[in-house]
Amino acid sequence: MANSIIYTLEEIEQKWKNGDYKVKINFLANKKPYESNHIFDDNQSVKWNKEQVAIENEKIEKSKAEYREDKIILEGRFTNDIIAALMNSYGFNFKQAQKIENRVYSDHHHDMINNYFFYLADTADFINEINKLK
């Protein structure tokens, strides 16, 4: 984990609510590519318009690729922050924290606002209670 700052689950939840793990989308990333026969300028040649289509579609594709890359990076940062918080706050090792995060995410990521963070802390607390019974 490259991040040297370790946040608590509460801090990560606040960062998530603030949009810190969300990609700042570029307008072009949402845009559909232009049809090959699109006309940008009626006063220009067919060849010029086709060249413009290629240029604009390349910009759109580049923006979409950057969006996908940024999304992967931010999702990784989010997961790594959660794992680090579980390790730091609850004393789990990396594999344990990763397993907890994977399980809770698969069960509750569809409702991040209401359930994910609650069940993450609840599951970690429950496992710690079990571990204390040894």
pLDDT in tens, 109-124: 888 777 899 999 999 9
To 5 degrees, how large is the angle CA 26–CA 4–CA 99? 85
Helix axes 117-131, 94-108, angle to 10 degrees: 140
**Domain assignments of the chain as residue spans, ordered by start:** 9-33+73-131
pLDDT in tens, 18-63: 999 999 877 788 899 999 999 999 999 999 999 999 999 999 999 9
Does the pLDDT at position 3 exceed 60?
Answer: no
Instruction: Give the torsion sign (CA, 42, 44, 46, 48).
Output: negative
Nearest Cα residue to 119 out of 100, 132, 133, 96: 100
Regarding pTM above 0.85, the answer is no
